[in-house]
Amino acid sequence: MVDTDWRRDRIGSAHRGENPTVLRHLDAGFAVIGDRQFLPGYSLLLTDDPAVTRLSDLPRARRAAYLSDMERLAEAVEGACRRLDPAFRRVNIEILGNTDPYLHAHIWPRYDWEPADLVRIPVWLYEEEYWRSPEHQLGPRHDALRVAIGEELDRLRTE
């Protein structure tokens, strides 16, 4: 059984090197791969300061750095998913903040193979089975995807 204590403190565990979803520590946050992968490549940008609850909490320079990190992660997800799946369609980017109290942005890859009734609607309208099914849980089968997104993040840092 995987120890899930890190889930109770995702940002603190990322700082301590204990959060297994971390792909990279960027300038203003942590790029992480999502716990659920029903849309392979789903990633998030977590603030690296757990006291920050909304984008407007950040001073302008830090806010710009966070948004730049968000864009970089979205581009990395796009590059990796496009390379690994020819049915890649686009990415959706969302900052919602309705459940977790810290600032975070969702990066959702979208695919042509998604069910026709779902591909054009917000991901949040996917049925509960997609969110809860063990078949969509992050696991070793996603290692190549993790590596690909990390490589894209590294490449984009040098551009």
Average pLDDT, the chain: 94
pLDDT at 121 exceeding the cut of 50:
yes
Number of domains in the chain: 1
Strands (E), the chain: 22-25, 29-33, 43-47, 88-94, 104-111
Report the alpha-carbon distance of residue 20 to residue 45 in Å, rounded. Answer: 14
pLDDT of residue 1: 37
pLDDT at 51 exceeding the cut of 80:
yes
Residue 122 DSSP label: -
User: In terms of residue numbers, what domain contains 28?
Assistant: 5-158
3-class state of residue 52 by DSSP: coil
Q: What is the CATH number of the domain that holds 124?
A: 3.30.428.10
pLDDT of residue 4: 61
pLDDT in tens, 67-106: 999 999 999 999 999 999 999 999 999 999 888 899 999 9
